[in-house]
Every structure is written in structure tokens, then in C-alpha cells.
Amino acid sequence: MKHQLKNSKGTYIAIIIITLWMVSIVILMKTNLSFTNPLLYIFVLIQMHLYTGLFITAHDAMHGTIAPKNPKLNIALGQICTALYALFPLKNLHSKHHQHHDFVHTKNDPDYHEGNFFVWYFNFIKQYITWWQILAMAIIYNILKIYIPEKNLVLFWVLPSLLSTLQLFYFGTYLPHKGEHQNKYQSKTQDKNHIWAFFSCYFFGYHYEHHDSPGTPWWRLWQVKEQSINTKNG
């Protein structure tokens, strides 16, 4: 029973994140807050973090760690996350992400680009966003605004997702991979700070650890960090 629960933990965590996002988005679509109310900005940040959680959960699906014993459920939960995030096809993300792991910091790495932050970010986004996604999201937006105040759609649906792309890129790609690194993964890792590591990008600041142990789900990366420190300290 204990072993069964351990194998299902990733599934439970994925369902919790999806549920939190759904409950939050429904509540926020009905919220009426003025721009002078600090809660408005707090809710935008919370929703941004939940969007990032959707993508990180989908990332775990790409590594088969949501439901290791049930590949169909693993893929289904991952696809739900990418669809809610911005209608991404999981198969395409899976292919490009594993290309990143196989060819990290080379011209064949879809996540790497030589250039400043803004040029790199633009090329990063261009790798994943398609015109049909933009068109489909625009159609959905225009349908939703018939029933939901446009202010709420922009503040709690559009803006958090865009901010989330910056969060994912900055903490999960740009900071870990910019510059040259003296290791086979061409990546660095942030100093141990589990609270900041979670809130900044679901522990993906521990990026060397992720490349060294890609089969570790996001919610266990802090443990890999601990083990890495203990090993170095001998």
C-alpha cells in the first residue's frame, strides 16, 4: 500500500495543481477589484505561479514522472496541463525538450540562443508558439469576453500566462544556461534555498541537478540538491 501511494504521488500532485489553477481562474473571473487594491496584484502573481505549475507538471510528464506505472495517464495529465496553459501540443514539447537535454548549449538545442536576454527570450518563445495557437487563443478570448468582463480576462488569464513564460524562461533557461560552464550539462545551479527555489520556478533553479537526474520530479529536486551538497561536503 505504501509503495502504491509512493508511485501515485506524482499523479496526486499533478491533479492538485490542475485543480488549484481551475478553482483560481473561476473565482478570479468573477472578482471585481480596483487597480488601487493590492490584492489584485497579489492574485495576478498567484495565478502566474499556478500557470508555471501547469507547465512544470507538463514537463514532468515529458520525463514520465507523473504516473510512471501508467504511461497513458502520464500523457493525459501532461496534455491537460499544456492545453490549459496555451493549447500546446505535448508531443511537440516533448520532442524539443528532449532535444534540449541531448544537445544542451549547442546549435541543436532549441532552448539555447547566443544573444542578450530579449533576443534569447524571443527565440525561445518562437520555438514553441505557433500561429494556429495564437489564432485559437484569440478565438477563445473573444468568445469568453461575451460572458466574462474583459478586464478580468486580461488581468487573470492573459497577463499571468505571459508573465509565466518570463518566469519559466528566466529561472529555468536563461539563468542556468547563460555563459560557459565547466560541466557536461553546461548549466549552473542556484545556491541552496528551498523556499526561494520553489517560489521562483518550482525548484528548477537547481538546474544542474535536473540535468543530472532528469527522472526526478520537480517536487523532489530539493532532495537531489541536498544529496549533492552532502556528497561535496563528504
Residue 34 has pLDDT above 80, yes or no: yes
Q: What string of H, E and C letters represents the secondary structure of 203-221? A: CCCCHHHHHHCCCCCHHHH
Q: Is 182 a domain residue?
A: no
Number of domains in the chain: 1
Q: Is 132 a domain residue?
A: yes
195 within 8 A of 79, measured Cβ to Cβ = no
User: Which residues in the chain belong to E strands, given as ranges?
Assistant: none
pTM value is: 0.94
CA 37-43-44 angle, 5° bins: 100
Residue 4 has pLDDT above 50, yes or no: no
Q: Is 195 a domain residue?
A: no
Range of the domain at 142: 2-166
Q: Write the burial class of residue 196 (CB in 10 Å: 0-12 exposed, 13-18 middle, 19+ buried).
A: middle
Q: Tell me the Ramachandran region of residue 186: left when phi exceeds 0, alpha when psi lies from -120 to 50, beta otherwise.
A: left
- The closest alpha carbon to 200, from 226, 174, 181, 223, belongs to 174
Q: Is 46 a domain residue?
A: yes
Say which DSSP state 182 is in. Answer: S
Q: Is 172 a domain residue?
A: no
- Once rounded to an integer, what is the mean pLDDT over residues 184-202? 95
Per DSSP, the three-state class of 75 is helix
Tens of pLDDT, residues 94-125: 999 999 999 999 989 999 988 899 999 999 99
Q: Is 223 a domain residue?
A: no
- Once rounded to an integer, what is the mean pLDDT over residues 193-220? 96
- The closest alpha carbon to 160, from 6, 4, 40, 13, belongs to 40
- Assign 7 a pLDDT band (cuts: 50, 70, 90): low
The set of cell numbers assigned to 72 is 497513458
Residue 152: CB atoms within 10 Å:
19
- Assign 15 a pLDDT band (cuts: 50, 70, 90): very high
Tens of pLDDT, residues 121-154: 999 998 899 999 999 999 999 999 999 999 999 9
Q: Is 45 a domain residue?
A: yes
149 within 8 A of 28, measured Cβ to Cβ = no
Q: Is 218 a domain residue?
A: no
The set of cell numbers assigned to 173 is 533557461
- Assign 231 a pLDDT band (cuts: 50, 70, 90): confident
